[in-house]
C-alpha cells in the first residue's frame, strides 16, 4: 500500500511491535510504521474499530501508539530515534475506562 519514494540515506533502527525496522533519520514514526506494512495503528476503546492515520498533522488523533512505554503518542508528530520502541494499539482509555 505505502512505499518509500527514495532510499534510506541515514538509517535509524527502531522496533515496531517487536520487529526490527530501519527508518530514515527525520522520518515520522507514522511514516516508519506505514513503511513497515502496518496500516491499523490502534483500536477504539468503545467499538474496537481499527484506526490508522488520517490527517498526518496532529489533528485527528487516529495515529495514537505507544512509544518507549508512553501511550497515546501521536505517531505523525513523533520523529524516529535510534533504539525507539513503538507498539501499535497505543490508545489507552481515559481514567476509569476499561
Ligand atoms: S494522523 Fe492525525 S493526529 Fe496523527
Find out whether the beta carbon of 60 lies less than 6 Å from any atom of ligand 1. Answer: yes
Which ligand 1 atom is the nearest neighbour of the CA of 76? Answer: 4
Tell me which DSSP letter residue 34 carries. Answer: H
Output the pTM of the full model. 0.86
Find out whether the beta carbon of 90 lies less than 6 Å from any atom of ligand 1. Answer: no
d(CA 25, CA 69): 21
28-85: per-residue pLDDT in tens?
999 999 999 998 888 888 898 999 999 999 999 999 999 999 999 999 999 999 999 9
Q: Which residue has the cell 525496522?
A: 21
d(CA 87, CA 75): 10
Which ligand 1 atom is the nearest neighbour of the CA of 59? Answer: 3
Amino acid at each position: 500500500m505505502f512505499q518509500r519514494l527514495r532510499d534510506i540515506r541515514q538509517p535509524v533502527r527502531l522496533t515496531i511491535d517487536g520487529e526490527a525496522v530501519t527508518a530514515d533519520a527525520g522520518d515520522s514514526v507514522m511514516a516508519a510504521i506505514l513503511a513497515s506494512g502496518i496500516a491499523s495503528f490502534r483500536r477504539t476503546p468503545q467499538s474496537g474499530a481499527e484506526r490508522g492515520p488520517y490527517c498526518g498533522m496532529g489533528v485527528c488523533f487516529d495515529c495514537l501508539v505507544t512509544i518507549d512505554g508512553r501511550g497515546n503518542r501521536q505517531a505523525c508528530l513523533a520523529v524516529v530515534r535510534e533504539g525507539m520502541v513503538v507498539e501499535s494499539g497505543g490508545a489507552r482509555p481515559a481514567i476509569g475506562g476499561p
